[in-house]
Structure 1
Amino acid sequence: MDDFWPAIFALAPTVLIGLVFWFIMRALIRSDKSERKALAKIEAEERARLGLPSAKADVS
């Protein structure tokens, strides 16, 4: 039991840095997804305003 706390204190910084990295990557991926959704909405509005077909019709 004497080795338990030193082992925890040795692993804690690595685990904390890993969690910080995970939260940062999660935030980046979510912000990218939100930005893509917003840009798609703006593009759809502009295409509708100009009378162009939707982008989904161009893909097929």
Structure 2
Amino acid sequence: MDYLVALIPSVGTGLLFYLVIRAFVNADRNEREALRKLDEEALRKESQETRGA
């Protein structure tokens, strides 16, 4: 039973590390998606301006 108590800090640290890395990856994914949408919108506006001119 003592070995289980000894593993608790390592498991807790591993879980915390996993959660932090997952948050970074999700934030990066969301930022890339937002940038992709902005780029598409800018290209759409540019093509509309080109056709209108």
Common topology (TM > 0.5): yes
> What is the CA RMSD across the aligned residues, in angstroms?
1.2
Query: Unaligned stretches of 5+ in structure 1?
Result: 53-60
Give the Cα–Cα distance (whole angstroms) in 1 for the partners of residues 46 and 7 of structure 2: 59
Relative contact order (C-alpha < 8 Å, sep 6+): which is higher? 1
Question: Which stretches of structure 1, 4 residues or longer, exceed 2 Å deviation after superposition?
Answer: none
Give 1 or 2: higher helix fraction.
Answer: 2
State the TM-score, normalizing by the size of structure 1: 0.76
State the TM-score, normalizing by the size of structure 2: 0.85
Identity of aligned residues (%): 33
Query: Unaligned stretches of 5+ in structure 2?
Result: 49-53
Aligned length: 48
